[in-house]
Amino acid sequence: MPFDIIRSPKLSELEANPLSINAEQVSDWLVDFLKAEITKRRGMNKVVLGLSGGVDSAVVAYLCARAFGPENTYAFRMPYKISSQESLDHAQLVIDDLGIQVRTIEITGMVDGYVGQYEDGISSQRLGNVCARSRMIVLFDQSAEVGGVPIGTGNKSERLFGYYTWHADDAPPINPLGDLFKSQVWEVARALGVPEVIIDKPATADLVKGQTDEGDFGISYAKADRILHYVVQGYGRDRLISMGFPEGDVDIVWKRVSGTHWKRKLPTVAMLSNTAINEYYLRPVDF
């Protein structure tokens, strides 16, 4: 079972670090997962992904190259005019190492066709959402062009914090990293041989110079992930504080998780019958 794979087998290690994983074994299992979901279930052998230059998309590229071969892994760099050159360069390191298929499609014209004409004073947060949704338009269209399946790159920490654009970053139908906390993704990255410069750099959405994920959160991934580990197992705020987690850290995590639950659900349907999809209706395999 996946749970057994990603946990350390020794109880003492679990107590010392509940996020401990066997990164090599996780990598192998995720490759098998991709093969099962893409080839066995869908009868396809090509995948497409957005390659940002960050660690999450790099890990997905390495997994896909192992699962389907570099000839069937299509990476798309989709910079906006304020994207950093470093991000493009780091994406190139992955491309050169793996020999995967690549195409660079700049989204500036798409984004500015809307922003420049109608929303000149747009905030950086809204601009980021427009960029993310524009990238998904490109990714899904290119998946139709090459005959491949879009692969998501969001990790569990981001998903629990709601730190992504709704109906954009979470849109691809397959996501190999969705049950790995960010700190675990870094471990998998090292096991896969992702370039150290990508692993070691601060995580960022690359929208504003100097912006980082952890700066936006007000807490590091290392601290947040340990708290998140217990939150998703049902530990309440008071119990977490009694366990020794700083109250301020707990409140940051608690507020983000509870305030973004709506982003992790499909659209709420007004039920008029007992066959409303994803409300009452269940397929035989769901029982």
Q: What pLDDT score was predicted for residue 1?
A: 42
Alpha-carbon span 131 to 158, nearest angstrom: 18
Average pLDDT, stretch 34-40?
97
Alpha-carbon span 219 to 128, nearest angstrom: 21
214 three-state secondary structure: helix
pLDDT at 147 over 60: yes
Contact 64, 47 (CB under 8 A): yes
Instruction: Count CB atoms within 10 A of the CB of residue 57.
Output: 24
Contact 55, 29 (CB under 8 A): no
Tokens of 282: 């269940």
Binned at pLDDT 50, 70 and 90, residue 208 comes out as confident
For the stretch 53-97, pLDDT in tens is 999 999 999 999 999 999 999 999 999 999 999 999 999 999 999
Tokens of 185: 């993704």
pLDDT at 193 over 90: yes
Q: What pLDDT score was predicted for residue 268?
A: 80
Residue 43 CA, chain-centre distance (Å), reads 24
Pick from 93, 86, 89, 91: nearest CA to 75: 91
Instruction: Count CB atoms within 10 A of the CB of residue 239.
Output: 12
Q: What pLDDT score was predicted for residue 7?
A: 47
Residue corresponding to tokens 């390659």: 51
What is the CB-side half-sphere exposure of residue 195 using CA atoms within 13 A?
Answer: 18
pLDDT at 245 over 50: yes
The CATH code belonging to domain 2-209 is: 3.40.50.620
Q: What pLDDT score was predicted for residue 16?
A: 63
Pick from 193, 224, 225: nearest CA to 55: 193
Q: What pLDDT score was predicted for residue 204?
A: 86
For the chain, give the number of residues. 287
Instruction: Quote the radius of gyration of the chain (alpha carbons, Å).
Output: 20
Binned at pLDDT 50, 70 and 90, residue 191 comes out as very high
Greater pLDDT, 211 or 184: 184
